[in-house]
Chain A
């Protein structure tokens, strides 16, 4: 006869997530992204073997929120710093966590060449279509017509160009092995995002090479949209421009 446990643990803070309050605004999806990364680190049992690389931007302090060794890079240079670490410690798991200003604007050269070299790294790329930390300026990912503090009349593609699709760009590179875009706008998508993050870390553990997961994220504060509506805005406005897909998945 089997006994039914009186209490069953169904939910707890991942060991890889620090027990601190974050500085993120209410409704920001950085917290969700952090939790997914931390859960994957726990599930793969790699917490004590992992080194994170923090960016410049809203997630500049993410080293305070993960219980793993961390370095804090200069703006856009996280992939270069991660390359330096991984090349001298190839048996460690190295990941960068970068926003769109960091990765897709000032750090475009570093991310592209890390992908081209097939660096055995995992990159978590947060795309919220705006510069959050500096107060809502236009990012390379800002949608056409979208109002920001540095495109107050809306992004004019005639003068400010078009949004950049990082996944589509990096998928053309032979060194990249897993390139996927997911969204954090509802529980179903969040579950899919976690799967992708896990694959991106597993790829590194198997030595496959460069993996990147782009996560469409909300910025209620700088979009000036309430949190619940901001999630709907991702689905309605961002997903058509940034389709959710696996753009490259090389099985070795």
Chain B
């Protein structure tokens, strides 16, 4: 295979096709619409299902239905559309049918704008709907990673019978980069034993999220939580950059992570001992690794394209061992490396131990 120049949204769509997605349901919304458009051509071409739904509410419930048959299915949207999907996501979580959701984030709240943002962190990571559950959240920073994580999303969704999401800001969705697509996968021929397909030669299968008796629902919730614990233990992913000897740790995901990486490189050139941890899974969060780094670090800087959302999880991991500072831009403004660099330099000064300040002054 060779590299092609690919737009993020199109790359994700084609990666899903090659991962063996058998049904796509979506609704147009900027900045993810190219994904839906690509599917509208490719899926019928391959004899697979494509429906432009009447709303995101309908789209997610079409996903719920198709996923109940055990087929690989997905939808994609952007922030306000994902808000509308919350109901369906909760039912899908409660029924444990594997589903893949792509959220190409834009500025909010409200109609906000169509510029890149990361302000869906809370919506996707903390609570995607009512009830006690979590969904896997994969956050690519490049087009290649968007392709790789789309494939992974299908695998994880099926492995754990859970919701796996790909969460990217509009920047990654819209930019073009050289990337390599995977080969076409074979479609699964036989449905899993839990799926609805017609009760032929077996007892009927029921896909439902209702457990009317409190004890019964609690038993289900315990089972669900045990599964989530297993995912949390097995599926944490992150990337580190110049972490060796770093006394200051910058944490950022997606586009903010890329900007932060440039800033870290510039800071290192100035002799500031700083490194980057870029979470790839936002849930499960790389809490353990961050906690480990906090044992030695002087300070943390969290860079986000929102008013400060992931910083809560970094603070939980750091647990008060050192200061956690924040630099964020909102409304679709992308932070510049120089802005991040200046914040790193400030954090460096503020956290220098007294003896090293004296040495610098002496």
Contacts and interface: CB of A to CB of B under 8 A. Distances in A.
6 closest residue pairs by CB, A with B: A84-B65, A81-B65, A84-B66, A80-B61, A72-B208, A84-B62
A84 B197 contact: no
Contacts of A83: 51, 58, 62, 65
7 contacts: A50-B198, A61-B210, A63-B206, A66-B204, A70-B204, A74-B87, A83-B51
A10 B182 CA distance: 62
Contact of A67 (B61, B64, B197, B204): B204
Given A48-B198, A74-B88, A84-B63, A63 B208 contact: yes
B115 interface: no
A110 to B, nearest CB: 6
A213 interface: no
A71 B207 contact: yes
B150 interface: no
A88 B73 contact: yes
Given A49-B198, A71-B65, A72-B207, A87 B55 contact: no
Contacts of A61: 210
Interface in A118-174: none
A69 interface: yes
A85 B208 contact: no
A117 B50 CA distance: 12
Contact of A70 (B25, B57, B59, B196): B196
Given A84-B25, A87-B23, A88-B69, A74 B61 contact: yes
A198 interface: no
Contacts of B61: 73-74, 77, 80-81, 84, 110
Interface string A44-74: 0001111101100000110100111111111
A61 B206 CA distance: 11
B315 interface: no
Interface of B: 22-23, 25, 49, 51, 53-55, 57-59, 61-69, 71, 73, 87-88, 91, 95, 196-201, 204-210
B88 A85 contact: no
B198 A92 contact: yes
Contacts of A84: 23, 25, 61-68, 73
B91 A48 contact: no
Given A77-B57, A109-B58, A110-B58, A68 B209 contact: no
In this complex, the member of B95, B200, B206, B210 whose beta carbon has the largest number of chain A beta carbons within 10 angstroms is: B206
B198 A74 contact: no
A215 to B, nearest CB: 23
A67 B202 CA distance: 11
Given A73-B61, A81-B62, A84-B66, A47 B54 contact: no
Contacts of B198: 48-51, 68-69, 89, 92
A176 B96 CA distance: 33
A109 B208 contact: no
Given A84-B67, A87-B23, A92 B197 contact: yes
A142 B51 CA distance: 34
A89 B51 contact: no
Nearest to B49: A87
Nearest to B201: A48
Nearest to A72: B208
Contacts of A72: 95, 206-210
A200 interface: no
A67 B199 contact: yes
A113 interface: yes
Interface in A178-208: none
Nearest to A85: B65
Contacts of A117: 51
Nearest to B72: A88
A82 B63 CA distance: 10
Contact of B206 (A70, A73, A88, A89): A70
A99 to B, nearest CB: 16
Contacts of B196: 51, 69-71, 85
A82 B204 contact: no
A125 to B, nearest CB: 18
A88 B208 contact: no
Interface in A21-56: 47-51, 53-54
